[in-house]
Amino acid sequence: MDNQRTILWALFAAMIFLTWSKWQDDFAPASEPAVVDAGTATPDESTATALPPSVSADSTGAVPADVPGVDSGVEAAAARSVAAEDLVTVETDVLTLQINAVGGSMIRADLKNYPVHKDQPDVPVRLLDSSVPYELISGLVDTARGGPTHLTRLQVDQTNFVMAEGEDELQVPLRWSVDGITVEKVYRFRRGSYTIDVEYRINNRSAEEWRALSYQRIRKIHNPPERSMFNVDSYSFDGPVFYDGEKYEKLDPDDFADEPLDQKLAAGWIASIQHHFLTAAVPASDEVFSYSAKYTNGITTLNANGPTLVVPPGTELVSTAQFFVGPKLQEQLKKTSPGLPLTVDYGILAILAQPLFWILQQVHKIVGNWGWTIILVTFMIKLAFYKLTETSGRSMAKMRKLQPRLKTLQERYKDDRQALSQHMMELYKKEKVNPAAGCLPMLVQIPFFIAFYWVLLESVEMRQAPFALWITDLSSRDPYFVLPLLMGVAMFVQQKLNPAPPDPVQAKVMTILPIMFTVFFAFFPAGLVLYWLTNSVLSVIQQWNINRKMAVD
């Protein structure tokens, strides 16, 4: 058996299979979204303003969807223009946001340190934009007398908040007051952080008990990028996700009608993810929330409805929650909520990808360059599997020495394949050569190689990271295709160091294989090509050294 041919084809097939499977899992063909007439849209708890005194919530605080008098859809609220005096601008060291004073929803967010394109550093990624629409909504619903919902005008002392140099925290307070009830909704931003705390400080100076329901919403148009092997963003899932405290689940909006999201639990969260970035709503982990979702007119709305907050007369109460708006930085995601790092979608090989990413992080802390980090970690992986690959290499070197004798047998028994197989097995036995000896050790490495592939593809740390010379962005293709060509040359040399297939047709296929890989990798991110080039060069060096030693022996 030609081990090298087997390994290359197995790896090639595995990569195609995993890529295709991931596309099918994440982007299965979907039917056209149903169009709902705005005039007949059913009421939605996500747009609740004040509820009549006769209306009550269930034990988890979920407001019934068929409540009379409730606004007829978030679309109606979003359609209302935002007055200039209602726009509250917040600028931290990493974010530029806009908050609508009507309701206190976050309606725009620019990521200052993440440009859309490396050659346009002044055009940041815009993660939230109510005109798209894409916004984060939150509020309180008073079941008796109204409340500071996302449709209620809140008071704000100023419309521009800036985190000054030397400040580690910025607070943005918005207030609502009626009949002795005062609610201060405070957003808290921290330096360098994409986690946003939202805090409700409720002061009841009335003579009656005040009851309210808290809620968080993520409202976004569902428009994932068109699937293409040339568009790296299309490899990643783009859409709503849900975490129930134990299991992470990607949601297909087209399934909401048949498989609605309807769960009541603690320690969960909802999020909308895309390649490298996400927004998440994280309720308080010690309280039971009701989670649901809607898909109307091409827009998904994820809901987290909290329990009833009861504030006796003359007392105060504080309710907290969190939002995350930014890149998938795993350290920050881990600090924000358990399970949130799962939004960095490493697929079925996450159990291998997570430790690989950790190693990459540690090496990067030392060398400070992601390109050199990839090279060094590839070397480390190669070193870890050195004995396994050496076994494979020795087997191929022995096979190479037997090539002339095998060719003689093929010519002698070219018309009798059974006799040819018998004499080949006798030759292998006599020379103590196992043609499959090096196959399994190499196959063991394939999951690690593919896991490394997904780490490089999914980790936002690699996005627009420079390496050297003309490689200024490891997350995009090599503009001059130098790395893919070098990779193809390395694979060709590696092929020549191994025994050629006895069959002429197979030999021609093997000759074409480096060309196929070169074309296949030509439009892949430069970081992935750098990894495969490094691996191929190390394999060439190792096989050359084995062949040299075997020739001496």
What does the DSSP assignment read for 80-129? Answer: SPPPGGGEEEEE-SSEEEEEETBTTEEEEEEEEEEEEETTEEEEEEEEEE
Residue 456 backbone phi and psi in degrees, to 5: -65, -35
Q: What CA–CA distance (Å, rounded) separates 530 from 476? A: 12
- CA gap 238, 166 in Å, rounded: 37
* 3-26 residue pLDDT tens: 444 444 455 555 554 444 444 444
- Give the whole-angstrom CA distance, residue 159 versus residue 170: 14
Residue 300 · residue 193 · CB < 8 Å: no
Give the C-alpha separation, 357 to 527, whole Å: 14
State how far the Cα of 120 lies from the Cα of 118, in Å rounded to an integer: 5
pLDDT of residue 33: 34
By the 8 A CB rule, do 209 and 321 touch?
no
Spatial CA neighbour of 30 closest among 295, 272, 279? 295
- Mean pLDDT, the chain, integer: 79
The model's confidence at residue 496, banded by pLDDT at 50, 70 and 90, is confident
Cα 150 → chain centroid:
29
- Asked whether the beta carbons of 305 and 60 are under 8 A apart, the reply is yes
Could you tell me where in the chain the CATH 2.70.98.90 domains are found? Answer: 32-84+141-147+170-340
User: What whole-number distance in Å separates Cα of residue 455 and Cα of residue 349?
Assistant: 10
Report the share of the chain in percent with pLDDT over 70.
74
Can you tell me whether residue 181 is helix, strand or coil? strand
Tell me whether the omega of the peptide bond preceding residue 355 falls within 30 degrees of 0, making it cis.
no
Question: How many C-beta neighbours within 10 Å does residue 296 have?
Answer: 20
End-to-end CA distance of the chain: 23
Other beta carbons within 10 angstroms of residue 319's beta carbon come to 21
Better-predicted residue by pLDDT, 413 or 212:
212
pLDDT at 245 over 70: yes
Tens digit of each residue's pLDDT (9 = 90 or more) over 198-207 = 999 999 999 9
Residue 140 has pLDDT above 90, yes or no: yes
On whether the CB atoms of residues 473 and 118 are closer than 8 A, the answer is: yes
Burial label for 463, CB within 10 Å (0-12, 13-18, 19+), is buried
Q: What are phi and psi of 384, to 5 degrees?
A: -65, -30
Would you state the pLDDT for residue 92?
A: 96
pLDDT in tens, 432-475: 666 665 565 567 777 887 888 888 888 898 888 899 889 988 88
Report the alpha-carbon distance of residue 529 to residue 513 in Å, rounded: 16
At the second CATH level, the architecture of 32-84+141-147+170-340 is Distorted Sandwich (2.70)
Percent above pLDDT 90 for the chain: 40
From residue 167, how far is each of 138, 170, 172, 425 by CA, in Å? 26, 7, 14, 76
For residue range 215-231, what is the model confidence (pLDDT) as tens digits?
A: 999 999 988 777 665 56
Residue 466: phi, psi to the nearest 5? -80, 155
98-131 pLDDT per residue, tens:
999 999 999 999 999 999 988 888 999 999 999 8
408: left (phi over 0), alpha (psi -120 to 50) or beta: alpha
